[in-house]
A and B are shown apart, each in its own frame.
Chain A
């Protein structure tokens, strides 16, 4: 529903502003151009996107995701000690994090939901501290190779589409750390109030 409001709002505001500024001709042209540029863009980014999705899939079947999941077990045990006591939850959690890192969104979400369901058992509809943390981890993007964005950059003529990688890693690391810290602080604040 949110997107209905955003889309309609943008179109209506464009009409009003176009009338007020007398740029209605430009608005009409822009509508047609915008629609066709969406298809042009999709076609020109298709190749790069498919190639990197393929490379990620090879890494996946090579066991890289399994290895990453193993590497994240100790970290997750420290972040979510209660949930990690259950072996199946810990397995789903670590697989969720490694799928996110590899940019396999389609695989990450079901794994994360599986972990969230196990962690929500018997809580009566209130999220536990650790469940809040799991969702915060998933709302913060941690991706090693952002293939979609690189293919958009490539399609619009970037000199080297992947040169933003270090900046993406730094920004993601900062964002995830602040998310975890805020969640931990707010959880501590909640305990102190009670």
Chain B
């Protein structure tokens, strides 16, 4: 038995005991949360259909190889696998788009491959930057955003670099 097999059952039991200790309706909360998960999935499914279609076509036509080759010299120098180029391009613009491109990478190269892991960590450690900026400043009535965009993009770029670095650190290549 390895330690990671302990984490999931222990987490589930721990949450249940903690909830009962606080006299919370644990089962009600679980099903309510699961319903939320389903809502997320329903929202993302139509976008996933459209985008996975486009990404698969893009890959099959050879256009993806061309794009990857174009960015490869710069990315290799930074230690980022060039296969993740499309993910990094879509990530700041669209959340469901990034999920589709990331999923394509994970299934093509395998979830436990270096590229598959880097794609997953990139998805987990960055956000839909431009969408978030538009939502926040739009609803707060801000026109001059000053240094928000450069700072947010610096964070994204660090996230991409750090994703590749962290995967090499924890799993090797």
Please report whether the interface of chain B is mostly helix, strand, loop or mixed according to DSSP. Answer: helix
Which of A26, A56, A131, A147 is close to B142, meaning CB atoms less than 8 Å apart? A131
Establish whether residues A186 and B147, one from each chain, have CB atoms under 8 Å apart when the complex forms: yes
Which of B26, B30, B93 is close to A6, meaning CB atoms less than 8 Å apart? B93
Q: Answer yes or no: A132 CB below 8 A from chain B CBs.
A: yes
Known: A11-B57, A58-B24, A59-B15. A139 touches B127 (CB 8 A): yes
Q: Answer yes or no: A174 CB below 8 A from chain B CBs.
A: yes
- Render A158-179 as a binary contact track against B, CB cut-off 8 A, 1 for contact: 1111111011101110111011
Establish whether residues A62 and B111, one from each chain, have CB atoms under 8 Å apart when the complex forms: no
Q: Answer yes or no: A31 CB below 8 A from chain B CBs.
A: yes
- Render B118-131 as a binary contact track against A, CB cut-off 8 A, 1 for contact: 00111111111110
- Complex alpha-carbon distance, A70 and B150, angstroms: 30
Establish whether residues A57 and B30, one from each chain, have CB atoms under 8 Å apart when the complex forms: yes
Which of B53, B122, B166 is close to A35, meaning CB atoms less than 8 Å apart? B53
Known: A17-B61, A167-B169. A58 touches B56 (CB 8 A): no
Least Cβ distance of B121 to chain A in Å?
Answer: 5
Which of B26, B129, B130 is close to A58, meaning CB atoms less than 8 Å apart? B26
Number of B residues with CB within 8 Å of any CB on chain A: 101
What is A's interface to B at a CB cutoff of 8 Å? Answer: 2-3, 6-7, 10-11, 13-18, 20-21, 23-24, 26-27, 29-31, 33-35, 37-39, 41-42, 45-46, 49-63, 106, 109, 112-113, 116-117, 119-120, 123, 125-127, 131-132, 134-136, 138-141, 143, 146-149, 152-153, 156-164, 166-168, 170-172, 174-176, 178-179, 182-183, 186-187, 190
| Extra 8 A-B pairs, beta carbons < 8 Å, given A53-B34, A140-B127, A175-B155 | A6-B97, A45-B41, A50-B34, A57-B32, A131-B140, A139-B127, A156-B107, A171-B159
Can you list 29 residue pairs at the A/B interface with Cβ under 8 Å? A3-B93, A3-B97, A13-B61, A16-B61, A21-B62, A26-B60, A31-B53, A31-B57, A33-B56, A45-B41, A56-B33, A57-B33, A58-B29, A62-B18, A113-B136, A116-B136, A116-B139, A125-B143, A125-B144, A127-B137, A139-B127, A139-B129, A139-B155, A148-B99, A149-B102, A156-B110, A159-B112, A171-B165, A182-B151
